[in-house]
Amino acid sequence: MNFPTKLKIAVVGTGAIGAYYGSLLAQAGHEVHFLLRSDYEAVKANGYHVQTPKAKFHLHPVNAHNNTADIGPCDLVVIALKTTANAIFPEILPPLNSPGKTVFLTLQNGMGNVEKLGELFGLENVVAGLCFVCVNRTAPGVIENYMPGYIQIAEASGTARERTQALAKILQDSGTECKVSDSLERALWCKLCWNVPFNGIAIAAGGITTDKIMQSPPLRILAEKLMRELQAAAAAYGVSISEKFIEGQFTVTDGMGPYKPSSLIDYWEKRPVEVESIWGEPLRRGLAKGIPMGNLDCLYHLLDHLVRAKA
């Protein structure tokens, strides 16, 4: 599958991640259409204001839509919805699909997303992207990036193809560092090594930023124990996560400062929290292989209780 020079792109899920990467792709000259809900009027009127550690830009006008039928078939569909909204895939995504042409790139957290997309459009048309970045939506149409980081992409099924390498170059040309992995399984478990402890502890410890976790010896120990359980579960699925990688998660987090993980923001604002995809699914997969996961089990049930109580 060859991509055209200028892509028609739909961004579905325009919180911090979707708005940020969509804006970069639009700045690079692609025809980007944003599916918006609560921010629709603000973005249509004022566009996106994007701040990064090195620069800022204003994207205006913006191709803003409140339904996918108005967008039509695309070359690339970037999905940045919260996984709690995956049930609406069959309703909103088909108008964007041109069979045999459209590629679906999911930038969602956790596990189970490519399988749901594959059921609708075929795994061969799905690419998973994992975002190692610090970015928040601070107001309607206002996106702040605190650490550019990178995206790691992998085929939903099999090793990287020429199509995936081409997609990586498109992202790189838009100003996003992009790495290609030959193993989606490995990429998913590695991303969870950060998301599980830091998103989870930030909520469970009373609503604290990552610097507070790093400054607390008990919480830092808990974070490492959670990573070790994920490391063991990953190994049961044939994925080796090195000691250097585990240590690197703490080094990276030290450099983030008082960062608010996305799940913490969702929890504060009483939005759905991705409890099942980030904590529940890896727990179930680890237990299915007989891996002891007591810390993750406890955190998962605590978060489920806190989220339900907050709703």
The residues carrying an active-site annotation are 191
User: How far is the C-alpha of 195 from the C-alpha of 254, rounded, in Å?
Assistant: 15
User: How far is the C-alpha of 24 from the C-alpha of 121, rounded, in Å?
Assistant: 26
Ordered alpha helix ranges (H), the chain: 16-27, 40-46, 89-92, 113-121, 162-173, 184-194, 200-204, 210-215, 217-236, 243-254, 262-268, 275, 281-288, 294-310
Phi-psi category of residue 200: left, alpha or beta, with phi > 0 → left and psi -120 to 50 → alpha: alpha
Confirm if 83 and 113 have CB atoms less than 8 A apart: yes
Q: Which long-range contacts (CB under 8 A, 24 or more apart) does 259-262 make?
A: 259/134, 259/146, 259/147, 259/209, 259/210, 259/211, 260/136, 260/202, 260/209, 260/210, 261/195, 261/198, 261/199, 261/202, 261/210, 262/15, 262/16, 262/17, 262/109, 262/136, 262/199
